[in-house]
Amino acid sequence: MTQQTAEPGSLYGVPGVTQRFEQDETTIASLTQLALTNTVNDNNVQNFQQTDIIQWWECEFSWVNNYTGGTVTAISPYGPYNLLQATSIQMQGQYKPIDVVSGIDLAIFQLYRPMRGSAQMAAQPLLGANPSSTFAVSTLPQANLVATPNQTDASSATPVPFYLEFPGCLWFDQYWDLAEDGGINGPPISCYVSPQYMSGGQRVVKPKITYAAVVASNSDNGPLTFSVNPTIGTETITETWRRVGVYASTNPAAMPPVFNWQYQRHSFQFGVGGKTKVVVPITDFGQVLSVFLRFYDPTAAAPLLITSSTYLPSYCALYYGSNLPRFYDEMPAMQKRFLDQHGFLPPVGTIIWDMALTDTGGYVTNAKAINTLTNANVNAVVQFNSALSANCYVVVGIESLVYVAIQ
């Protein structure tokens, strides 16, 4: 009689077979001194461990905002998260699963796609206590990433703590495994796509972070702006990194399955100064799960108040292929959909289209994603009531599955 062998990945998640862990990474209580007017690169964080299988990393940041003198102009609505500016997870010989222009983009992704729990739970520590301003009607205010309990303009030796997640994969309640040409490889399953196998001498993985100056040039480039510069005292940021995943096994059936698709969170800046109709090309290649547009006006030194009658867009849309609208929304319609999906509203100045949640049950799936490998010409379009200021820009956030051929 021939003994049957379990298929690779078939026992993953079975109690007693899958051994999980949450533990510290290589960098614990690493301290970086911030500078008055210059950004600072974090050169203290260590390469991540080259063992086990990682689902995500998370980091506790502790900011000591200690200065004397000076006059604070404003507290950024993006603080303290935009203390992190350009941030990425560097993987040798592979794409970057995290590659954003600001920590606020990490916070927005985490706001509606947390690695643990629901988005409603994630919103509690990330959103401020009060909305910043109203939207089309007074009963639909926009949310605001203020973190009121933590953020202050007062000099203090008391640390300001905040947490950010750095996913290496994403859990799908319903995952359709696709070929590069869009063909379906099999029936849908529930799984992580795709966990990071960390073992091997070539698996060099390390975060790269640029910290904002203490005196930011505007409220997008840092938590605090000053009209009169202070004298900085103990202005530091401390990082403690943690890893979440499962231990490796010699039994292939107990290991998580690996797919040709890897998870990514990416943002980039796109100039829209002087425009009334904004057209932003979505150039990431893969299955696009969600898109957000975060508008910022350097002239006003604040997020663009698309809630105001001056700029209130007549519509916002996401097109693909031969100019087919995936979404064509008036602002209240966009907000209502997001509110139905997540139980709160997008942050001030932000438009979000989430294609990863099912309409019923709120499950995560790639069934509704836009596959840019089979659908070219993907564009986000926003029609404003009046021309934007000359220096205005939008930061585009794209959550996707990127195609990577398995070696």
Q: Given this model, what pLDDT does residue 288 score? A: 97
Residue 136 confidence (pLDDT):
38
Pairing of strands 261-271, 98-100: parallel
Asked if residues 163 and 59 have their Cβ atoms less than 8 Å apart, the reply is: yes
What would the pLDDT profile of 52-78 be if each residue is shown by its tens digit? 999 999 999 999 888 877 777 777 888
Q: Which pLDDT belongs to residue 219?
A: 87
Of 322 and 169, more confident = 169
Confidence of residue 41 (pLDDT cuts 50, 70, 90): very high
Q: Is the pLDDT of residue 262 over 90?
A: yes
What 3 state SS string does 113-141 have? CCCCCCHHHHHHHHCCCCCCCECCCCCCE
* CB-count exposure of residue 239 (10 Å: 0-12, 13-18, 19+): buried
Q: Does a cis peptide bond (omega within 30 degrees of 0) precede residue 256?
A: no
- The per-residue pLDDT for range 264-321, each reduced to its tens digit, is 999 999 999 999 999 999 999 899 999 999 999 988 888 887 767 778 899 999 999 8
Residues forming beta bridges with residue 33, ordered by sequence position: 236
Q: Each residue of 106-165: pLDDT tens digit?
A: 999 998 999 987 665 556 556 554 444 434 334 444 454 443 434 455 666 678 888 999
Predicted confidence at residue 223, as pLDDT, reads: 86
CA distance 202 to 184: 32
Given a cut of 70, whether residue 226 has pLDDT beyond it is yes
Tell me, which fold does domain 20-403 have in CATH? Jelly Rolls (2.60.120)
Question: Could you state, in order of their start, the residue ranges of all structural domains in the chain?
Answer: 20-403
Picking from 100-109, 165-174, 308-317, which range would have the lowest pLDDT averaged per residue?
A: 308-317
pLDDT of residue 131: 42
